[in-house]
Amino acid sequence: MFSGSIPALVTPFDDGGAFVESAYRDLIDWQIAEGSSALVACGTTGEAATLSKEEHFAVVRICVDQAKGRVPVIAGAGSNDTRVAAENLIAAHEAGADAALMVPPYYNRPSQDGIYQHFAALAVDAPLPIVLYNVPGRTVTDIQPATLIRIVQAFPKVFVGVKDASGVLTRVSDHRAALGDDFAQISGNDDLALAFNAVGGTGCISVTANVAPRLCADFQTACAANDFAAARAIHDRLFALHASLFTDASPGPVKYAMTKVRPGFPQGLRLPMTWPGEASRKAIDAGLTAADL
């Protein structure tokens, strides 16, 4: 259902922390014009953790309105409270999203069976497809392959893909052996996307695509055509930038990079996120130069 370069959109804020709708709409148009195949609104990179529920789904609604059906919109909608996650799915559907991106419960650290039961409860009345989002570096909770396979096999029409940020490349093969090629496996790590696609991945939900949407789209097109020589050349060009965007707490670095490639882009972040330090900014500048951006 999903493939290619899918930016995890930043959410523009002014210096006072207010959402800048005009900048967001411009960003969406630029992303689509540059070849992005779908958009993620209000994910981790979109600072969803600092948005109220009303703000969160207002931003999703604006993304859907600006995309105008040109590409699908995936709304971040996860929660560590199953009841709240169910409410978020309804809100994402009402906002017009095409799918929801859902992390397993964080902080309360359920067992593998608890993870399964969480998603099984959501699947019963799910009003739109769900892309699982496994990011144990942030949630601590890790959807093990056997659990993910159990979830998808039980509800194949609901769970259509995974954004895998575990960093464990063998999981692509584990998942594909059990679920086939129709289940979308999407990398959550830009720096691993080349290897991820080589073993069966279908795309990347990308931080770097905020800054370099055309290069990220061309990279994914090359991978889909099995032209891994061309893909590797783009990967090499972007590798320093990929790394630099995580030299300080994300999304501070990518927002700094946005001001370099989109002059006038709002510089605001909401606490506890802060502007990247000097060493990070120098690394980003070098990454942008290496990528000829």
The Cα angle at residue 81 between residues 251 and 116, in degrees rounded to 5? 100
Nearest 5°: the CA angle 92, 252, 74 is: 20
**Neighbouring residues of 48: CB distance < 8 A, sequence distance ≥ 6:** 11, 42, 56, 76
Q: Indicate if 282 belongs to the active site.
A: no
Helix (H/G/I), strand (E/B), else coil: 8: strand
Give the Cα separation of 23 and 166 in Å (integer): 32
Contact call for residues 105 and 122 (beta carbons, < 8 A): no
CA distance 45 to 184: 21
- Say which of 133, 256, 260, 282 is annotated catalytic: 133
Beta strands 39-41 and 4-7, pairing class: unpaired
Instruction: Tokens for 194, please give them.
Output: 């080349």
CB 102, CB 130: distance < 8 Å:
yes
Q: Which one of the listed residues 116, 163, 255, 256 is annotated catalytic?
A: 163
107 is catalytic: no
**What are the strands, taking DSSP E only, across 58-216?**
73-76, 99-102, 130-134, 159-164, 184-187, 203-206
Active site members? 133, 163
